[in-house]
Amino acid sequence: MARLNSIRIMDAVDPHVITPAVYRGRLAPSPTGLLHLGHASTFLIAEARAHEAGGPLVVRNEDLDTQRSRPEFYTAMLEDLAWLGIRWQEGPDVGGPYAPYNQSERQSTYRAALQKLIAAGHVYPCRCSRKDLARMTQAPHDDEPIYPGTCRSSGSGTADIVDRLAATELNWRFRVPDGEAIEFHDGHFGPQRFVAGKDFGDFLVWRKDGVPAYQLAVAVDDAAMEITEVVRGADLLKSTARQILICRALGLPEPLWFHCPLVRDANGERLAKRHDALSLRALRASGMKPEDVLRLAAANFDKPGSQRGPDL
């Protein structure tokens, strides 16, 4: 099947950024629902960039959400990716040198990273409940409220707390360097700049139910699997700043970044897994072919801003 030949996908990288000699890309879907048109657009671009760079593509199953992850969604995920014509060289179904590729099987790696952050004083225990946060936090900043620092002072007693309780039985929050600008070049959107403490506050890296937060797990896994470029949706641009801070705190290499325009529905709302009508399963059932999805993905990438979804 023809790839995204109409998209000049490799010429947007900052010439001042050193491109790795060996390219390793990845797809990192969560089995918490059916993949939709927005996923397809991003994943096709990720596959095209890996193919053009001559490097392998890794599929990582981000199944840490035990409440919402389902085996049937995992099966559908692999089937839909294959239907699109995407081919991967490493993953939970085919194995590879960086296995396991299911995040639920990588807990020891995340615990080791958490202990290193604790030892270096980059994180502190947080006892705030969701109800507390809703009552205390400031006005939302796009994706989440700014944490007011209620438990920051508890960092001085971190060693005692860890002695008395298992570290993985506490919420842990990353202490951001207030006022520091986190800057990076995005391969599609260009220079990016977020100020810690202003654009985002202290963020969770570990939950008291023993599950690492997205920011920690993704940063650790991308480094462990030697991913050289992260291709994902533009809604995660701010998360990149958080993950850069984690990489620096842990001494991990930072990948290159490439964020794709978001696909929106006919009302201009960003697609989510609740948009069943735009799931790949529904589109396939309606008669849409893989080449139709390719065409929509190319149109979404080439058009400024975010592409509105198809009129189904």
Q: Is residue 42 part of a domain?
A: yes
* pLDDT computed for residue 17 by the predictor: 60
Phi-psi region of 121 (alpha: psi -120 to 50; beta: other; left: phi over 0): left
Residue 115 sits in the same domain as residue 219: yes
* pLDDT computed for residue 276 by the predictor: 58
Taking the C-alpha atoms of residue 16 and residue 13, their distance in angstroms, rounded to an integer, is 8
β-sheet bridge partners, residue 125 = 172
Residue 207 sits in the same domain as residue 124: yes
Q: Is residue 178 part of a domain?
A: yes
* pLDDT computed for residue 160 by the predictor: 58
Q: Is residue 189 part of a domain?
A: yes
- Span 152-203, pLDDT tens digits: 986 555 555 555 456 667 899 999 999 999 999 999 999 999 999 999 999 9
Q: Is residue 160 part of a domain?
A: yes
Strand, helix or coil at 191? strand
Residue 170 sits in the same domain as residue 155: yes
Q: Is residue 190 part of a domain?
A: yes
Of 201, 225, 249, the position where a domain reaches its end is 225
Pairing between β-strand 256-260 and β-strand 144-145 as defined by DSSP bridges: unpaired
Q: Is residue 251 part of a domain?
A: no
Q: Is residue 77 part of a domain?
A: yes
Helix (H) / strand (E) containing 74: helix 71-83
Q: Can you give the residue range of the structural domain that contains 216?
A: 106-225
What total of structural domains would you count in the chain?
2
Phi-psi region of 55 (alpha: psi -120 to 50; beta: other; left: phi over 0): beta
Residue 89 sits in the same domain as residue 155: no
pTM (2 d.p.): 0.86
Residue 110 sits in the same domain as residue 58: no
From residue 293, how far is each of 3, 8, 302 by CA, in Å? 11, 18, 14
Q: Is residue 288 part of a domain?
A: yes
- Which stretches of the chain score pLDDT less than 50? 1-2, 5-9, 11-13, 15, 138-142, 164, 275, 304-312
